[in-house]
């Protein structure tokens, strides 16, 4: 079961980006600043700098980590980061779209995996999801691993990107038929996704799902 946590104001945060490409780092930082104007975004060029910042900053709300560095250590650093900042969500932001890398990252303790080919909106949505205590998976893994619209990791139900889209449509008051037309899905598939969403949010109807989604800031108010 997914937990809905509201332990901080999502608009006022401190984030860390660990990536060896300065242009990409700054681009991601700017996306986050625009979406969350009061957020502080720290940057590190490699794993060692990231660890140093983690040791100096005790109030990080989330960390974005690349997997590939010239000196190595991205995948193996996940467990170190998780150990140093227990309770701080770690999101992998990588050029790799290999499902095995996604599974390894999650197995090491990452709470999300966002390919660098993803849109700015997806990046921010993934952040909102992990900050609510949930796990974000990209379609490249969700599509191959989802059975019956429900995906589990370590006994927890996970919302896929498609299910987030359905949830946003529910929050806009769309019917199953309209959701299907908008997302090019059959009504049966829409119902399957809604069942998975209700299970993930521990709710029994649309009104409760909307309230839970907005409370956890999984969707725009």
119-155 pLDDT, tens digit per residue, is 898 898 889 888 877 778 776 655 444 444 445 555 5
- Say what the pLDDT of residue 66 is: 93
Cα gap 54→81, rounded to integer Å: 8
Residues of the chain with CATH 1.10.10.10: 146-221
Question: Tokens 């929050």 — which residue?
Answer: 171
Nearest to 140 by CA among 200, 99, 91: 99
- Say what the pLDDT of residue 97 is: 85
Cα gap 95→114, rounded to integer Å: 9
Residue range 146-221 forms a domain whose CATH class is mainly alpha
For the chain (length 221 residues), average pLDDT per consecutive 10? 40 88 94 90 94 91 90 82 89 88 83 89 87 75 46 57 86 94 89 83 86 77 61
pTM of the model: 0.65
Cα gap 186→56, rounded to integer Å: 51
- Say what the pLDDT of residue 149 is: 43
Residues of the chain with CATH 3.40.50.2300: 1-134
Q: Which CATH number fits domain 1-134: 2.40.170.20, 1.20.1260.10, 3.20.20.60, 3.40.50.2300?
A: 3.40.50.2300
- Say what the pLDDT of residue 30 is: 94
């Amino acid at each position: 079961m997914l937990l809905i946590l509201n332990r901080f104001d999502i608009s006022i945060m401190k984030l860390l980006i660990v990536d060896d490409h300065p242009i990409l780092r700054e681009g991601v930082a700017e996306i986050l600043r625009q979406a969350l104007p009061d957020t502080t975004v720290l940057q590190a060029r490699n794993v060692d700098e990231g660890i140093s910042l983690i040791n100096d900053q005790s109030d990080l709300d989330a960390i974005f980590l690349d997997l590939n560095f010239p000196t190595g250590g991205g995948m193996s650093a996940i467990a170190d980061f998780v150990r140093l900042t227990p309770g701080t969500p770690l999101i992998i932001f990588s050029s790799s779209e290999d499902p095995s890398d996604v599974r390894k990252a999650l197995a090491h303790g990452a709470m999300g995996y966002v390919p660098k080919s993803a849109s700015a909106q997806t990046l921010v949505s993934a952040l909102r999801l992990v900050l609510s205590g949930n796990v974000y998976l990209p379609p490249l893994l969700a599509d191959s691993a989802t059975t019956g619209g429900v995906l589990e990791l370590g006994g927890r139900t996970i919302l896929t990107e498609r299910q987030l889209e359905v949830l946003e449509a529910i929050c806009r008051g769309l019917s199953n038929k309209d959701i299907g037309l908008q997302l090019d899905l059959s009504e049966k598939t829409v119902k399957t996704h809604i069942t998975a969403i209700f299970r993930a949010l521990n709710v029994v109807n649309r009104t409760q799902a909307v309230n839970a989604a907005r409370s956890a800031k999984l969707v725009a108010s």
